[in-house]
Chains A and B, each alone.
Chain A
Amino acid sequence: MEMLVASAIGATTAAGIYLILRLRTFAVVLGMTMLTYAINAFLFTTGRLVVNLPPILQDHAAGGHATYTDPLPQALVLTAIVISFGMTAVVVMMALGSFIEGGDDRINMPDDDYIMPPLKTVDDQKPEDETA
């Protein structure tokens, strides 16, 4: 069983990484969603795989904790799931905004945005600077 879980997480990660390396926003959003699944599942498995022992206390008197699975990764992953929804929502809105505003859904910076001004010497020592 461990093998299945590990390979599924690996496959999901690989698909997620492949998709975030694409050039269009939608593929990247999907890739991030896939990565989210993989990472949440991975974090969850840090509590190891346990079947049929949910961390819902059955008998207060017994008090032993050996019969339950580790609740802490679950609590952390629960918030992570909700937060990743928030993240996906923001990223989707940004993708949508850039598509509506810019007319295409490319993820790379347009070339004319990227070309930086030539690097000057440490300071611009021109006289007109004095009047600035």
Chain B
Amino acid sequence: MSPALIALLPFIGALLPGLLIRSGRTVAATACGTTTFVALLGLLLHIPAILRGEVLIARFEWLPLIQLNANFRIDGLSLLFGILILGIGLLIITYARFYLSRQDSIGKFYTYLMLFQGAMMGIVLSDNILLLLVFWELTSLSSFLLIGYWRHLPAGRQGARMALTVTGMGGLAMIAGMLLLGQIAGSYDISDILNAKDAIQASPYYTPALILILIGAFTKSAQFPFHFWLPHAMAAPTPVSAYLHSATMVKAGLFLMARLWPVLAGTEQWFWIVSTTGLITMLLGASIALFKDDLKALLAFSTVSHLGLITMLLGFGTEEAAIAAVFHIINHATFKAALFMTAGIIDHETHTRSIARLGGLRKLMPVTFVIGTVAALSMAGIPPLNGFLSKEMMLYEASHLAVARQGFMIFATLAALFSVAYSLRFIFHVFLGPQRDDYPHQPHDPGFGMWAGPALLVTLVILIGLFPNTLAGWLVDASAAAVTGGHPHAHISLWHGVNAALIMSLIAIAGGAALLSLHKSFQAAWDSAPRPEAKAIFDWLVLRIVFAARGISDNLTNGSMPRALAAFTLATLFAGSVAWYTGRVGPATRPMLPIEPVPLIGWLMVMVATGCMVFFHRIRVLALVLVGVVGLVTSVFFAYFSAPDLALTQISVEVVTVILLLLALHFLPKRTATETSTIHRGWDAFIATLAGIGMGSLCYAMLRRDFAFDPISGYMLENSYALGGGDNVVNVILVDFRGYDTFGEITVLGIAALAIFALTQTLLQGNSAKRLTNWVHDQRRAGDRHPVMLVIATRVILPISLVVGVYMFLRGHNQPGGGFIAGLAVAIGLLMQYMASGYAWAQERQTIPYHALIGAGVVAAGVTGIGAWFNGLPFLTSDFGYFKLPFLEKFELATAMGFDLGVFLCVVGAVMLALNSLSRIARRAGETVNKNPMDINLRDEPKEGAQ
């Protein structure tokens, strides 16, 4: 089975519970179990090839430009982790089916679990570090969902948040580290990176990259000082804890260290950072575990300790240590998963996990007792179980270090001693001792479904302990080969003769037993001793950061829009000034154009209009007129400076905008009261002036300089006719060269119009509708609502404006015009009818709904674009030809015309829908409807006169 498919299968499995959960919990569990099993089978089929030393690689290009490719590999290390993830996953799926109660939505649980499984498989199978990062983040997210699965429990939510914060931050550091690593190696493919050891270790970026990557790995694997999230993640349901903290999530960090071991390990920095962090974590975790009352907390801290052990071994940087590390990964996964499931069984049966309330379960739960005891003894490192073998190897490596040997020997023995003590505590304080009569729930052994998984694991614990070379030797060899890049051969045996490791081991066992016998007094001392509480520190830190963030955002945006906009303006000005003063500006080379009378008049008009605008904006109708002036001068400006298309567009948009604002003003107050102090306005004027000066001088500076680089439009000018078949380059750019932009743009325009329509719909219902019905207009109504002159004139104009529209449209490709302008021209013609003859009268004669017009426009443009595919060309490539019809000149037809038709329809639809919506509001507000084509509403006149 392809490595990619193995990575994909769990994700497919994640979809199944949602589809199948209605058929029952067992069906959903079976579906997930089956996909997991198939993936496992697919992986196991590769064993012979892997044992021959082959590496399987499957490559798919994803984003080759940034070297993010979906490359997958299976080597010994991937195989080891894959077996753990899928194998233990299978057991967890079975176990969870019986563990979770009917109140828990099990479908969701399985979806999260499969998602997590897929992310883990992705990490171990990735052959591209960018792809690996994607899966890495996915594990953070999916583990967040899993840890917080019981979201009604505050502890679950907090634990999930803490885990996400810590591992997410680590992930960010790791992204930076991985990017550095990829830059040094010149490739993001793991296969290439693994061959670049010398280049990487010689690079000045080696140390920063190493530290950043290690932060990511340490946060994930709960190494000191990031260890605190793991015990809080125990608020998750036990199947989650068993999965995340034995075989998967926390092993991801170890996996990464092992994966990059060949290129990162072997240096001073690596040795000191990794092995001391591992040692501290091992010691710290083991000592805390001894005093935890919660069964799962005990296991959590023991996990922290064992992760530290493996980290330390990887930090040693020798081949033998790597073998020991790999072997302990297998052993830890087997006994720890079994122990978590045992803890879950005890919790399930007695309804408590507090060790103080347990004890004497041996007779009541014999099966659980046997499973738990064997697993705990393995954790303690008692022969002949598998935990003993790898612990022996660890002690042996510690006693053969070249540097700091005594230190490592003493602390490793001490950690092993604590480990024995808490493991024995698990057995003695839970199962042994007198039987009690105050269990919260009378315990008995659970059904087969629940103990089958741990029983299987415990069998493995014993068998690997007895026959290590037969059962696990090949896997250890294969994965150690992948870690070290050599051909190591593990010699694992129960008896090595009397050596330092054995003596250390014996000290640990004897000392651990002695420590447990004195546990009561130690516990009292521990409880009374002050010590830093990681969660309190974390909470305090998070709270501080939130306060600081809120302080900043509250001061910038306190619900006052002017304040936010002023802050934005000032920030933009500041950034612009920094850019201006730090950047380089060439000399002013471009000569100035002479000043002509027409532009001078235009300039005067704009200056006067803007000045008046600032002073008279409170008289809103006047302000609207002034806006119109500026708009018209703008369109003249475009016409004057060689942009006929822009001038046409600007003038028609201007008309539509002013009509729109007028219609809105119909309802809004006609004047604005003065609400701000003079100082306030002065400050606003100051900001505005600064912005104006900035914009003006930037514009001037730009106008006086020639292009720094050749403009890309040279290509468009040269090819407009040859490739686009049009002389009007602006139009060809719109419908051809940059057709995609235009396509997006008309879609946005359509969406804007539909949003307006939707807003209107809400305004026409509920409270606002009532307000509208009782609307009192604040101005006297004109008696002559539909002046005869206007009605006649607009009806004469309509056909003319339609013809102009068609003409503009047809000539658009070669002369100023095109879909946008034609659409606006036609829209104005139609709009005039509404204005002159009244909304209802015009609407009755209009049968096509405007939404349909927008839709048709987008579809027409899209279909034209797709048409290019049939020519074997990319989306929106236009084609054109010249045709001759009788009685007509030779004329050109281009597919771009279809696209332009789409633009046209969309513009007409959008403009009309927007204005139409305003008219509907007006009607609700009591606008009368004229019955006849032309009516003169004289009825109001006497009333007005009487007043």
Q: Verify A97–B763 contact, CB threshold 8 A.
A: yes
| A33-B627 CB under 8 A given contacts A89-B752, A123-B154 | yes
Q: Verify B753–A89 contact, CB threshold 8 A.
A: yes
Q: Verify B691–A12 contact, CB threshold 8 A.
A: no
Using an 8 Å CB-CB cutoff, how does the interface string of A88-132 with B read, 1 for contact, 0 for none? 111011111101110101011111011000010111110001111
By beta carbon, the residue of chain B nearest A113 is B559
Q: Verify B688–A17 contact, CB threshold 8 A.
A: yes
Q: Chain B contacts of A70 at CB under 8 A?
A: 711, 713
B199 within 8 A of A: no
C-alpha gap A23/B610 in the complex (Å) = 19
By beta carbon, the residue of chain B nearest A80 is B745
| A90-B752 CB under 8 A given contacts A1-B594, A70-B713 | yes
C-alpha gap A103/B774 in the complex (Å) = 13
Quick one: which of B685, B699, B734, B741 contacts A6, CB cutoff 8 A? B699
C-alpha gap A56/B620 in the complex (Å) = 40
C-alpha gap A92/B508 in the complex (Å) = 78
Q: Chain A contacts of B444 at CB under 8 A?
A: none
Q: Verify B550–A119 contact, CB threshold 8 A.
A: yes
Q: Verify A96–B718 contact, CB threshold 8 A.
A: no
Quick one: which of A21, A34, A97, A110 contacts B768, CB cutoff 8 A? A97
B748-802 contacts to A (CB < 8 Å): 748-749, 752-753, 755-756, 759-760, 762-763, 767-768, 771-772
Which bracket fits the contact residues of B?
Answer: 35 or more
C-alpha gap A83/B917 in the complex (Å) = 18
Q: Verify B610–A11 contact, CB threshold 8 A.
A: yes
B930 within 8 A of A: no
| A10-B696 CB under 8 A given contacts A21-B687, A48-B590 | yes
By beta carbon, the residue of chain B nearest A84 is B653
* Binding site secondary structure of chain B: helix
Q: Chain B contacts of A11 at CB under 8 A?
A: 606-607, 610-611, 692, 696
By beta carbon, the residue of chain A nearest B546 is A119
Closest CB of chain A to B885's CB: distance in Å?
Answer: 23
| A93-B699 CB under 8 A given contacts A74-B730, A114-B559 | no
B656 within 8 A of A: yes
Closest CB of chain B to A122's CB: distance in Å?
Answer: 5
Using an 8 Å CB-CB cutoff, how does the interface string of B632-648 with A read, 1 for contact, 0 for none? 00100110111111100
Q: Verify B610–A34 contact, CB threshold 8 A.
A: yes
B38 within 8 A of A: no
By beta carbon, the residue of chain B nearest A110 is B559
Q: Chain B contacts of A24 at CB under 8 A?
A: 672
Quick one: which of A55, A84, A131 contacts B730, CB cutoff 8 A? A55
Q: Verify A114–B696 contact, CB threshold 8 A.
A: no
Q: Chain A contacts of B529 at CB under 8 A?
A: none
A15-54 contacts to B (CB < 8 Å): 15-30, 33-34, 37-38, 40-42, 44-54
Using an 8 Å CB-CB cutoff, how does the interface string of B718-732 with A read, 1 for contact, 0 for none? 101100000111100
C-alpha gap A123/B718 in the complex (Å) = 65
Quick one: which of A77, A114, A121 contacts B543, CB cutoff 8 A? A121
Quick one: which of B154, B752, B767, B907 contacts A130, CB cutoff 8 A? B154
Q: Chain A contacts of B688 at CB under 8 A?
A: 13-18, 21
C-alpha gap A24/B820 in the complex (Å) = 32
Q: Verify B610–A12 contact, CB threshold 8 A.
A: yes
Closest CB of chain B to A52's CB: distance in Å?
Answer: 6
Q: What are the nearest 10 A-B pairs in CB distance?
A: A10-B696, A14-B692, A109-B559, A114-B559, A65-B717, A6-B700, A86-B752, A18-B688, A1-B593, A75-B733
Binding site for B on A (CB under 8 A): 1-30, 33-34, 37-38, 40-42, 44-58, 60, 63, 65, 68-72, 74-75, 77-79, 81-90, 92-97, 99-101, 103, 105, 107-111, 113-114, 119, 121-125, 129-132
Given contacts A13-B696, A57-B729, 7 further A-B contacts (CB under 8 A): A34-B613, A40-B634, A48-B590, A79-B742, A90-B756, A96-B921, A122-B161
Give 15 pairs: A residue, B residue, CB < 8 Å, sorted on A: A15-B688, A30-B623, A33-B657, A45-B702, A48-B707, A54-B816, A72-B733, A89-B914, A93-B917, A96-B664, A101-B763, A101-B767, A101-B771, A122-B542, A122-B543
